[in-house]
């Protein structure tokens, strides 16, 4: 019994270490004091100021555009790639699977620096190319595709191959078999992969910081720039809203991924 209590205490300490800073940010977003951590009363004025901040709206739109476009492209590409890796055996398949893990395990700083150098090289030979939301979207797709492919590939691994054979015998071949049989069966995995990719894009800072240009500031970059001037309750409120949105998306991802 003592061992069980010790493990419970250790678990509670780990949870407190992970989530106590987040709870502090949420609590301070309702604090009427503009500076410091002394509690001076409950207020919602920081959220009102945040909602009336036109620049924040612009940065929010940028974040949603980047996350929406990159997630759509990465989901389509990742689904097709997962189908090819699961159904066919071809030369270089093992190397391709290995490369899928590179964007996941490589440090974000190294990934961002590599993308920055690549875009600078492209700009050298293509004058019309410049750092903008397009470069941020392309950068996000590079790591989103890996997550989407691996999630959907694991979903495909659990499907019964006889279902595809039966569909083929009944006259469903090619894209018809994909739309009527394969996609409905793997749809929970596709949805979970897309929601995870959207969350990763919405929260990303390091890679976005390296690949963003003028007029392509997103919410994470805005928060980082504002913190350098001093942490204010508006930043606490914005961070709380981002935490809330991310948490809701992750809950949806968990529900979709565990649904049979």
pLDDT in tens, 120-179: 899 888 877 888 899 999 999 999 999 999 998 888 877 766 666 666 666 666 667 777
Domain ranges of the chain: 1-43, 47-258
Class of domain 47-258: mainly alpha
Beta bridge partners of 42: 31
DSSP letters for 11-45: HHHHHHHHHHHHHHHHHHTTBS-SSSS----B--H
Residue of higher predicted confidence among 190 and 256: 190
Cβ atoms of residues 218 and 208 within 8 Å: yes
Q: How many CB atoms lie within 10 A of CB 20?
A: 9
Residue 111's pLDDT band (boundaries 50, 70, 90)?
very high
Cβ atoms of residues 152 and 79 within 8 Å: yes
How confident is the model over 54-87, as pLDDT tens digits? Answer: 788 888 889 999 999 999 999 999 998 988 887 7
Cβ atoms of residues 164 and 138 within 8 Å: no
* Spatial separation of the C-alpha atoms in residues 106 and 193, rounded to whole Å: 20
Evaluate the CA torsion angle 173, 175, 178, 184 in order and state its sign: negative
How confident is the model over 180-202, as pLDDT tens digits? Answer: 777 777 888 888 899 889 989 98
Q: What is the pLDDT of residue 118?
A: 92
pTM assigned to the model: 0.81
Q: What is the pLDDT of residue 172?
A: 65
Those residues with Cβ within 8 angstroms of residue 164's Cβ, 6 or more apart along the chain or in another chain: 177, 181, 182
* Spatial separation of the C-alpha atoms in residues 174 and 178, rounded to whole Å: 7
**Average pLDDT of the segment spanning 220-242:** 80
pLDDT surpasses 70 at 114: yes
Please report which residue ranges of the chain form alpha helices under DSSP H: 2-28, 45-51, 54-87, 93-105, 108-125, 133-157, 161-169, 175-177, 183-203, 206-211, 219-229, 233-258
pLDDT surpasses 60 at 260: no
């Amino acid at each position: 019994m003592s061992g069980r209590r010790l493990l419970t205490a250790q678990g509670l300490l780990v949870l407190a270490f992970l989530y106590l800073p987040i709870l502090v940010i949420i609590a301070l977003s309702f604090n009427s004091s503009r500076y410091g951590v002394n509690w001076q009363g409950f207020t919602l004025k920081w959220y009102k100021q945040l909602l009336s901040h036109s620049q924040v709206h612009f940065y929010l739109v940028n974040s949603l555009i980047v996350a929406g476009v990159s997630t759509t492209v990465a989901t389509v590409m990742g689904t097709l790639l997962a189908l090819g890796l699961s159904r066919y055996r071809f030369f270089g398949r093992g190397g391709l699977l290995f490369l899928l893990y590179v964007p996941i395990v490589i440090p974000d700083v190294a990934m961002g620096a590599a993308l920055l150098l690549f875009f600078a090289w492209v700009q050298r030979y293509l004058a019309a190319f410049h750092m903008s939301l397009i470069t941020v979207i392309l950068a996000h797709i590079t790591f989103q595709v890996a997550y989407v492919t691996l999630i959907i590939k694991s979903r495909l691994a659990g499907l019964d191959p006889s279902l595809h054979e039966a569909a083929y015998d009944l006259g469903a071949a090619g894209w018809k078999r994909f739309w009527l049989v394969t996609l409905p069966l793997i749809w929970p995995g596709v949805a979970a992969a897309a929601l995870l990719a959207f969350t990763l894009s919405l929260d990303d800072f390091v890679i976005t910081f390296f690949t963003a240009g003028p007029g392509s500031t997103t919410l994470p970059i805005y928060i980082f720039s504002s913190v350098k001037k001093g942490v204010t309750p508006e930043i606490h409120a914005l961070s709380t809203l981002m935490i809330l949105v991310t948490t809701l998306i992750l809950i949806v991802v968990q529900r979709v991924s565990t649904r049979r």
